Amino acid sequence: MRRLIFYSGMRRCGALCPIFALARSAALWYAVYMEDKEFYERQAELARANAYAPYSGYSVGACVVCKDGAYYTGCNVENASYGATMCAERNAVAAAVAAGQREIEAVYLVSSGRDMPYPCGICRQVLAEFGNPSVFVRNADGRRDVATLAELLPNGFCLRK
């Protein structure tokens, strides 16, 4: 709703001067983009609250955003056998794929610790299967970083489909 009010206000102003209209519409899309980023990061935060991480104590939440804007969340689920542990982003990717998605545009990751939750090697390879998403990470102190998957996984393995 906030967006709609903002948008109709901008359109009315834009009718007076086309240059202002252009500048305003750029500002609008930036505002919407920032609002979306906050929203998806918040969804990752909500998923993190359900993380099962009794062994590492490091909880992670993920929000995977697909081409059509639909999003899917996941958290890390650890296991006594350690090796059976599932990372947050891989669980979110599995949920997206189970819903019929095949193209991932962005991934938001938030962690409970000071270490930045960059995806592990396996998760990078799993994400590469479904596109070249922007990967947004945020740690417990609020420190943020962003990189494309291609930057995180140069020369990732792929087979022709």
Q: How far is the CB of 72 from ligand THU (least distance, A)?
A: 15
Residue recorded with tokens 């001067």: 17
Please report how close the Cβ of residue 60 comes to ligand THU at its closest, in angstroms: 4
Closest to ligand THU by CB, 25 or 134: 134
Binding stretches for ligand THU (CB under 6 A): 53, 56, 58, 60, 76, 78, 85, 87-89, 109, 117, 119-120, 123
The beta strand positions in 1-159, using DSSP E, are 60-66, 71-75, 104-111, 134-138, 144-148
Identity of the residue, 24 or 51, whose beta carbon is nearer to ligand THU in the bound complex: 51
Residues forming the active site: 89
Q: Could you tell me if 146 and 120 are in contact, meaning their C-beta atoms sit under 8 angstroms apart?
A: no
Q: Residue 41 or residue 78: which is nearer to ligand THU going by CB?
A: 78
Burial of 114 (0-12, 13-18, 19+ CB in 10 A): exposed
Rounded to whole angstroms, the Cα distance separating 11 from 56 reads: 51
Q: How far is the CB of 40 from ligand THU (least distance, A)?
A: 16
Which residue number, 60 or 126, has a Cβ lying nearer to ligand THU? 60
Q: How far is the CB of 24 from ligand THU (least distance, A)?
A: 38
Nearest CA among 134, 139, 130, 129 for reference residue 152? 134
How buried is 155 (Cβ within 10 angstroms: 0-12 exposed, 13-18 middle, 19+ buried)? exposed
Cα–Cα distance, 39 to 133 (Å, whole number):
17
